[in-house]
Structure formats: structure tokens, C-alpha cells
Amino acid sequence: MKIINFKGVEIPAIGMGTWHMGSDKATYDEQKATIQYGINHGATAIDTAEQYGEGDSERIIGDAIKGFPREKLFLISKFYPFHAERKQMEKALDNSLKRLGTDYLDLYLYHWPGGTPLNEVVANMQALQDTGKIKHWGVSNFDISDMLELLSVPNGLNVMANEDLYNIGSRGIDYDLLPWQREHDIPLIAYAPVDQADTRGGAIIQNDTLTEIASRHNATEYQIMLAWVIRDGHTLAIPQTNSQKHMQENIDAANIELTNDDLMLLDQAFPKPTSKKPLDII
């Protein structure tokens, strides 16, 4: 498994997303087993949010991780923008910790930019970090203008990561945000890295270049999409799956080394933007 360095913390480059998990009784056991399979096979970064199923995602993770050594995991959760004020944020965190059955998060993210002044949001996240209930804090759905503002407020530079939508079919942030983050050593957490597969990204895998490169690596198109997302050694991808087979394929994608030739062909098939694009958000 390819390991990335997240501001001094080593994390396997493929983790797991958990949106929509834990709410359906019929699939609960299968989803729990898939999370456990992922952890056992190296996908130890787990992304969730208080928003997901209004706590159901955090609850199923809490159930799944019982029995795993806590230090083996990198748990990421997020608070609603309307919980960005001091008291609400602390309460939101306590509720997330309770649902997850843990006493700390590795990373706590401001889910998307809201109305609370950014200097206050940062001060509140810093205060939580000082209590030890979160190891690090970060942001999500921030575009370059938001990141520039973030770096201008006290302690803004302590941001660990920014989580944005990024995949080969949606590479608007390649124009400005991603090069800027690399330059400032702020890693990306790429959500929807396979563009939600059949829901949104079904058309992407119909691409002949992608299929040819996949067959060259004896891989699936989705695995090539993941290998491409994590190609810079600076990005954590968090694909979501309910299937142990797909979980294994996703984990294995971290071992695919795309060649310069592959990358050039993929750039031709899925060109980099040549102008500013609005931030893609789901």
C-alpha cells in the first residue's frame, strides 16, 4: 500500500468514504463487514461527517472499529457550518466522538464555508485541538479564494488538509487550487474519486484511453481513476464502497504505478482546464 505523508503523519493513500452508510438495516451487516475488511487490508483512513445519515455513518463506523487498536486508524469527521461557533462546535464534536466510540478524532473538518467569520472558526478548531479531542483540523469544499483567506487569519497555516471533489472527469482544481496546495504543502483529500461510479461517472469509464491503460495494468478503469487521483503522493483518496471486492480493488489501486506515458495519454483524453472553473461540489 502506497503511504503518503500528511504533514508528518503517515497514512495509506487510499482510505474509505462512508456517506450513506449505516442507515439501511438490510445492508448494515454487509457494510460493517466491508469497513472491517478495509481496515484489515490497509484502508485505515475513514471519512465521515455528522451530516451523513444524521449520525448513522458515524454510528456504523463506531460499531465496526470496536476491537481495532485506535492508533491504527485515522478518523476524519466534519461539522456542519452552522455548528461553527464555539459551544456548538464542541457539542457537535462530543456527539461525533460518542457515536464513533472514541475519545479523539485524527482530523476534524469544517464541512463547507458558512457564515461564521473564518478567524473565529479557526480559533474554535484550535481550541478543540488544545483539548486533545482532535489531533488536527482542516477544511472542505474550499476553493482557492477561501484558502487564501484561511491563510490570512491567525493560525490559518495550521490547516492539515482540504477535502474537495476531485477525479479525472472533474479536474477544475488542477487549474489553480491543487498546484497552490502542493506549493504550500497542504494535502488534498479527494472525495468522489471515482465520480460516484455509475451514478455520475459511468460515462468516464467508456473512454478508450482509460480502458487501454486499465488493460495494460491488468486493472479496472476505476482502479486507474484512483491511481491517477493519488499520483502526486500528496493526496488521500476516499472512495466509498459497500462491496468487499471493490474495497480490495480500491486498496490495490494504490500499488499501480502509472508511467509518464500513461499520464500523458490520460492528460490528452481528460485535458487539464485552461481557465478557472467553479469548484465542483456534491
Print burial letters for 104-121: b (CB count within 10 Å at least 16), e (below 16): bbbbbbbbbbeebebeeb
Looking at the Cβ atoms of 36 and 241, the one nearer to ligand NAP is 241
Residue type at 72 in one-letter notation: K
From the candidates 28, 37, 52, 166, give the one annotated as an active-site residue: 52
| Structure letter (DSSP) for residue 278 | P
Closer residue to ligand NAP, CB minimum distance, 82 or 264: 82
Which of 79, 149, 94, 139 minimizes the C-alpha distance to 117? 149
Q: What are phi and psi of 185, to 5 degrees?
A: 55, 45
To ligand NAP, the closest distance from the beta carbon of 152 in angstroms equals 23
At closest approach, how far in Å is the CB of 76 from ligand NAP? 8
For the CB of residue 50, give the shortest distance to ligand NAP in the complex, in Å.
12
**CB of 200 vs ligand NAP, minimal distance in Å:** 8
Residue with cell 495494468: 217
DSSP lists the bridge partners of residue 3 as 12
Q: How far apart are CA 130 and CA 212, in angstroms?
A: 50
In the complex with ligand NAP, the residue whose CB is nearer, 190 or 266, is: 190
**What is the C-alpha to C-alpha distance for residues 89 and 77, in angstroms, rounded to an integer?**
12
3-state secondary structure of 215: helix
- Verify whether residue 52 is a known catalytic residue: yes
* CB closer to ligand NAP, 131 vs 199: 199
Residue nearest to ligand NAP (CB): 17
Residue ranges binding ligand NAP (CB under 6 A): 17-19, 47, 140-141, 163, 191-197, 220, 222, 238-243, 246, 249-250, 282
Sequence-ordered alpha helix ranges (H) in 17-113: 25-40, 56-65, 86-100
- Positions marked active-site: 52
